[in-house]
Amino acid sequence: MRDLTAQTSAQAYVPGVFDDLTAGLGLRMSFAQNEEIYSQEEEAEFIYKVISGAVRTTRLLADGRRQIGDFYYPGEFFGLEPKEEHRFSAEALCDTVVLVIKRSTIQSSGSSELQHEIWQATAQELTRAQDHLLLLGRKTACEKVASFLCNLARRQSAEIVALPMGRQDMADFLGLTIETVSRMLTQLQKGRSVRFVDHRHFRIENPDAIACMCE
């Protein structure tokens, strides 16, 4: 990870961006697309919050197989793990600004509200991981892709949903190959469940059909 001491200017509190308890704490850091925020097996000294952009956490096997743990969007915490070391690395999906908070700061801040917020975020993370387990272990390729689109749509609650990641990232999140992801996307389109306006934007045409594939 980059040297934190190198940046000192970005601590300013931006009013209105967040209503929360992290205001004024930690450092803001910018990362270019695909830049590493922290690495697998690095000591988990900080916790992180997305300010703008998006983040993926990834884990590699020795032979290059890759699993994406989750994607994080503005306002969400990541890097929440018990002391020790990180099991996943984190990378910027696109140009991204992140708030970096030292763990010891949280302890010493004495804010039990903040501690509670972080516990909530950890438990929330666990819930998402559990949904992900079911998806990876027991869903078919088509159900995986449908569930993924459905989740994105739910989080964004917009008519046209943006896909912030490429096909390889989707594949590595879903435990599939890019080819299979691509095939399932065209299959869902032929079934009139979704429609892509371009490679990175879609709308859900038939919410019932999608919902039924997500269970």
Partner DNA sequence: CGATCGATTGATTCCAATCAACGTGAGTGG
Partner DNA sequence: CCACTCACGTTGATTGGAATCAATCGATCG
127 binds a copy of itself (CB under 8 A): yes
Q: Which residues of 69-90 are buried (b: 16+ CB within 10 A; e: fewer)?
A: bbbbeeebbbbbeeeeebebbb
Q: Using CB distances below 5 to 8 A depending on partner kind, what does residue 80 bind out of DNA, a copy of itself, none?
A: a copy of itself
Question: Which of 71, 77, 78, 88 forms a contact with a copy of itself (CB under 8 A)?
Answer: 88
18 binds DNA (CB under 7 A): no
Structure tokens at 166: 């490429």
Residue 46 C-beta: closest distance to a copy of itself, Å: 14
CA neighbor of 60 nearest in space, from 85, 39, 35, 38: 39
129 binds a copy of itself (CB under 8 A): yes
Residues 134-193 binding DNA (CB under 7 A) are: 140-142, 166-168, 175-183, 185-186
Alpha-carbon distances, residue 117 vs 60, 84, 127, 151, 209 (angstroms): 30, 21, 15, 23, 36
Helix axes 167-174, 178-190, angle to 10 degrees: 100
Residue (10 or 163) nearer to DNA, CB: 163
Residue 155 C-beta: closest distance to a copy of itself, Å: 16
Structure tokens at 59: 């884990």
Bridge partners (DSSP) listed for residue 198? 201
Q: Using CB distances below 5 to 8 A depending on partner kind, what does residue 168 bind out of DNA, a copy of itself, none?
A: DNA
Residues that bind a copy of itself (CB under 8 A): 59, 61-62, 65-67, 69, 80-82, 84, 87-88, 112, 115, 118-120, 122-127, 129-134, 136-139, 172, 174-175, 215
